[in-house]
Amino acid sequence: MATLLFSFGGLFQVSILLVNAIAILSEDRFLARIGWGSSSASPEPSFGGGAAGDNQSVKSKMINLINSVRTLMRIPLIFLNVLIIVWAVAFG
């Protein structure tokens, strides 16, 4: 396990594990209880309404990041997790 972070494969596995951790956060059970639900994020300006990062707080940016990861990475994470499992079974 000590050499896990010192190779590109290990770095890939660690990054996939971190994205998995973000993707499985339940909004009802966890995020809403600590005040990080999607309803507490400020609405994004529409197209042409100004830069999105100008007046948003760090908390609202983190909420948007979590929601984006949960939305966009759902299908690719399934493929990447299967790939890591097959790699671990085949090559130990």
- What is the model's pTM? 0.65
Q: What is the pLDDT of residues 7-17, one digit of tens each?
A: 787 888 889 99
- The domain spans of the chain are 8-91
pLDDT band at 45 (very low <50, low <70, confident <90, very high): low
DSSP state of 41: S
pLDDT score at 52? 52
Looking at per-residue pLDDT, the higher value among 68 and 29 belongs to 68
C-alpha closest to that of 12 among 1, 2, 22, 4: 4
Query: What is the H or E stretch that residue 71 is in?
Result: helix 58-72
* Chain mean pLDDT for the chain: 77
Q: Which residues contact 66 (CB under 8 A, 6 or more apart)?
A: 22, 25, 31, 36
DSSP string, 3-31: TGGGSHHHHHHHHHHHHHHHHT--IIIII
